[in-house]
Chains A and B, each alone.
Chain A
């Protein structure tokens, strides 16, 4: 009898009993689920073909003592960052880290890797880990009035990759900000991979206690790595009155399949701002979900992406209004060139008692090639009767009037198009008050626009 995949890794993962149990249950769940097929609404336009039996884990890399021993690309990136403290992960584990400023540690702020946190802060980790992104697909069935048709429940297969991530995560960042503490400089993790034909599973947990504030930057970057998988889960706990800003920048090399579920649980009067940037990889599925649990909670959800060559980018979003007076505002902007595929499925859900919901969703795509395809699927499930919800989606080529205007000033068509693509994407960044991160993203955009 052949062993089911990943059994070896599971045994090697170790940890306290509650965690090993959780991992085993997650792998059991994984084994019962199918990879989502095109009949599953949330995965309709994205099929992942993977032979799990063939997957082997990314090799472990030695810790290094100084920045100079890190890969050149990482060093270059670290030079331009203004984060207060950071972790560098190469494949499964941390290879370098800086310490939090003493003044923040003194206030009780914790920033470490998740594996260390399990040992040093077991209570905190056990309380929150898997609470936002569990192994199974979160049950976002909306609460409807009695007698009315309830909304469609998620398909269990939507938990396939999250179950894998829950079972096999090796490490990731852990951030804990105590009540009322404001962390000014962003904290960050820089994830790289360096071994083609492997997989990496990571997990990030950020907990912002009541009335605290923090920014976390989650960057992914690598060389081209054929047949490589990055499976991730990001859990964001935003307690009452807290403010959390989360930025995810996916800039993997070609050949990488990126599948990551990012979800925030947002308390009363709390705010979650997210920015998703997708530039790299060959197949990328990034979910951003805001569960607006508390009254008066707020979520801003921004994204920008540029797909070219044969890249396939799938962005799934959820604005789940579970309480009254909450506000959500989503703006996703993307560019499709060559024979790329862009998918946006954006769901707004409003529960029965979530009156005075104010939810807004906008997706705009710029198409630079007639071979590029774009699928935009906005969906609304509204069960309250006093709400304001709007969604809109536009797709089109570069604005011809703008193009002509630039050309009429002597600028070549090629450069004018690049200027307009850049402007189209950077428009999103005007809403992000993080100077150094914005400059970094602008650099990635410039590189990509120049290469297109």
Chain B
């Protein structure tokens, strides 16, 4: 992979979603999604509930609940759809879950260390200073006390704490492509600002991704480069940040018309 002559290296640094179809059981949800998100850009994906936004997120990271029936997802030129979920993650794809699971018995510290270790080459260890240095920096951004990492993963956490914990993982694992699935749902303004601060601290030429949301609110704090609207499993409209504002003021009725057109 580090071979400079490899064709992978010459591929564009981007996520490219080509004609993606996916279903749950027999029910088709995604019906031909086409999107290109260059590294360095964050794109918002908006749309009415139940039209495929979260499905898109989960299909990209390989949730076994969904079946891809057609299409490709290329990450820096590699089709990831045949890869295991953990391989995709090690490639640099990260999903901030809408509903992060609780895992009593696994401390956040141990979990983060093992997740970082999984990215290392055989025989290479995550050093204490690397781990601890990163951790302190991340906790500072998230305005969180160090003691949090001794707690079990999300066990008994409030909705806001779980979302903050997703951003902690994101800061520690330093993905190249993030997908934020309704991270703003259930957050109060203060928590929303902290989450946005975490994401913005990573923004730059080495970070691309999708911000999936139903509301404009989060996009006031994380301003997207582009906005796409998904209705009935397809992208029906794309535009600049002003598109999100239009949805906010005019609602979703007019985009539903687009889907019928």
Contacts and interface: CB of A to CB of B under 8 A. Distances in A.
A407 B101 contact: no
Interface in B59-116: 61-64, 84-86, 88-90, 94-95, 97, 100-101, 103-106, 111, 114-115
Contacts of B64: 400, 404
Interface string A404-425: 1111111111011001101111
A410 B90 contact: yes
Contact of A402 (B86, B89, B101): B101
B105 A408 contact: no
A9 B152 CA distance: 53
Nearest to A421: B105
B118 interface: yes
A401 B114 CA distance: 18
A422 B84 CA distance: 23
Contacts of B104: 423, 427
Nearest to B105: A423
A116 B140 CA distance: 62
A408 B103 contact: no
A424 B105 contact: yes
Interface residues of A, number: 24
Contacts of A413: 84, 86
A405 B155 CA distance: 14
Contacts of A415: 114, 118
B120 to A, nearest CB: 10
Contacts of A420: 103, 105-106
A420 B110 CA distance: 12
B196 interface: no
Contacts of B105: 420, 422-427
B118 A419 contact: no
Contacts of A422: 105-106
Contacts of A426: 105
A422 B104 CA distance: 10
B118 A408 contact: no
Contact of B61 (A408, A423, A425): A408
A404 B115 contact: no
B216 interface: no
Contacts of A424: 105
A321 to B, nearest CB: 29
Q: Which has the most chain A C-beta neighbours within 10 Å: B61, B95, B106?
A: B106
B89 A405 contact: no
B16 to A, nearest CB: 21
B207 to A, nearest CB: 17
Interface residues of B, number: 27
B97 A405 contact: yes
Contact of B100 (A405, A407, A419, A425): A405
B193 interface: no
Contacts of B114: 411, 415, 419
A412 B86 contact: yes
A427 B155 CA distance: 11
Contacts of B152: 423
B169 interface: yes
A404 B85 contact: yes
A404 B101 CA distance: 10
A404 B89 contact: no
A423 B86 contact: no
Contacts of A412: 86, 118
A217 to B, nearest CB: 23
B173 interface: yes
A423 B94 CA distance: 24
A407 B91 CA distance: 12
A401 B97 CA distance: 11
B63 A404 contact: yes
Interface in A278-336: none
Contacts of B88: 408
A409 B115 contact: yes
Interface string A205-237: 000000000000000000000000000000000
A411 B103 contact: no
Nearest to A405: B101
A419 B84 CA distance: 18
Given A415-B118, A419-B106, A409 B89 contact: yes
Interface in A235-255: none
Given A404-B64, A420-B103, A423-B106, A410 B84 contact: no
Nearest to B104: A427
A399 B104 CA distance: 12
A407 B84 contact: yes
Nearest to B85: A407
A112 B61 CA distance: 61
A412 B105 CA distance: 18
Contacts of B85: 404, 407-408
Nearest to A412: B86
Contacts of B89: 407-410
Contacts of A404: 63-64, 85
Interface string A148-179: 00000000000000000000000000000000
B119 interface: yes
Contact of B118 (A399, A400, A411): A411
A425 B106 CA distance: 11
Nearest to B110: A419
Contacts of A399: 101
Contacts of B61: 408
Contacts of A423: 103-106, 152
Interface string B47-66: 00000000000000111100
A354 B104 CA distance: 35
A333 B114 CA distance: 25
Nearest to A418: B114
Contacts of B111: 406, 409, 419
Contacts of B86: 407-413, 416
A406 B114 CA distance: 10
Given A407-B89, A408-B94, A410-B173, 5 more contacts: A409-B115, A412-B86, A413-B86, A423-B152, A427-B104
21 contacts: A399-B101, A404-B63, A404-B64, A406-B103, A408-B97, A409-B94, A409-B111, A409-B118, A409-B173, A410-B90, A410-B115, A410-B173, A411-B86, A416-B86, A419-B111, A420-B105, A420-B106, A422-B105, A423-B106, A425-B105, A427-B104
Interface of A: 399-402, 404-413, 415-416, 419-420, 422-427
